[in-house]
Structure 1
């Protein structure tokens, strides 16, 4: 431990903890830890994410959260009551219920069909689950930690209206990258991401 604060990086689906290296130069006064979580459902994530945060708080005085996509959604559910100083969400899944309903519509699946079958595979590789949908509906997000959000205008998973409504609901700042995608991975997108974080940190510390 070299610093008294830590950046907890939470990857999205298909990502990994090694991506945390990208953020080390952006937060020079913090240690950066990548979270290699195993959870695949929101109900699994709560205990795992809280345990990770508690472990870090035993070593550090404060946590800054940087989370992507589904990792941001799991963080929203799990860490809302933790003493997180600041959160940076990159393409967060802002309304999981709407996303599931959208995927059902894309696949031509009704709620009655999903309830009857329990799980239905889709052509785009995501399994629709009645258990998942009902759990999400009964566990709404409640988040009051100071937050900044980065969103790409070409995000195919959620509309700009969805992300704007979410940002308004939690009182977050919102930055939209024109032509940005859900997954920030090109050289241009990563440069935008870096500059966004550097700018947010500079404003926070000014």
Structure 2
């Protein structure tokens, strides 16, 4: 498969596949990187698409940087990537996973994507942060006082939590298909169903899958879903 490594405003990125007028922006999730788009890119190329993947802040080639992987830097980088891709391809679609989906929902509301695919999306970050409060015995008051509290999952931040509460996802008019694991503990089935109903999405639930979709049988599930929806 043809692979071109580039930098877009110092953001490391890969363009996958033979030249086409159609492409997917691939936004990875937490603890992933741009190289993990390979399987997606192979399926997309068969459907006539190139794929552009890139490293989110603190991921891939950007590990060890002081540039945090938070909503503000995420939105900035997704805007830079979006501007580039829409200037280079006439038809643009979106794939985003987990945290990448949350960043996309905040950044790409007004972008004219042809199609959108979300795998294990974080659709309601306030719900997830409040889950973390429960898991790690943290209160709003404690977070307000300390401003930042490390946890085994992620760093809880007061400023991030305030942004999330003030910016719930209300607008999303892009044709969207969602793959959700029935054993996902980061977003409840109710959260997913509420979004699907509000935004007329197509939902596929893999009842035996957890959030990462990393078990052996999950790989086949993801591939089948991609083949049907790319």
**Pair in the same fold by TM > 0.5:** yes
CA distance in 1, matches of 2:198, 2:107: 18
1:139 and 2:167 equivalent? yes
Task: Provide the TM-score with structure 1 as the length reference.
Answer: 0.92
Looking at structure 2, the residues matched to 105 and 89 of structure 1 have their Cα atoms a distance apart, in angstroms, of 26
User: What is the root-mean-square deviation of aligned Cα atoms in Å?
Assistant: 1.4
**Hey, what does 1:204 align to over in structure 2?**
none
Aligned length: 200
The question of 1:5 aligning with 2:19 is answered: no
Aligned partners of 1:121 and 1:18: how far apart in 2?
28
Q: Which runs of 5+ in 2 are unaligned?
A: 1-17, 58-67
8 Å contact 2:124–2:168 — kept in the other structure? no
In the TM superposition, residue 12 of structure 1 has moved relative to its aligned partner by: 0.4
How far 1:18 sits from its partner (Å)? 0.7
Q: Show the counterpart of 2:56.
A: 37
Q: What do the CA deviations read for 1:68-113 (whole angstroms, capped 9, x no partner)? A: 0001100110111111111100000011001101101112211111
User: 5+ unaligned residues in a row in structure 1: which ranges?
Assistant: 202-206
Q: Deviations over 1:50-71 (max 9, x none)?
A: 1101101111001111110001
Q: Distance in 1 between matches of 2:39 and 2:229?
A: 16
- The runs of at least 4 consecutive aligned structure 1 residues that moved more than 4 Å come to none
Deviates more, 1:85-94 or 1:21-30: 21-30
Mapped partners of 1:187, 1:26: distance in 2: 18
Q: Secondary structure of the residue that 1:58 maps to in structure 2? A: helix
Q: 2:132 aligns with which of 79, 103, 110?
A: 103
CA distance in 1, matches of 2:192, 2:156: 22
* Residue 62 in structure 1 maps to residue 91 in structure 2: yes
* CA–CA distance in structure 2, aligned partners of residues 190 and 175 of structure 1: 15
* 2:118 aligned partner: 89
Q: Is 1:190 paired with 2:219? A: yes
Q: Distance in 1 between matches of 2:55 and 2:213?
A: 19
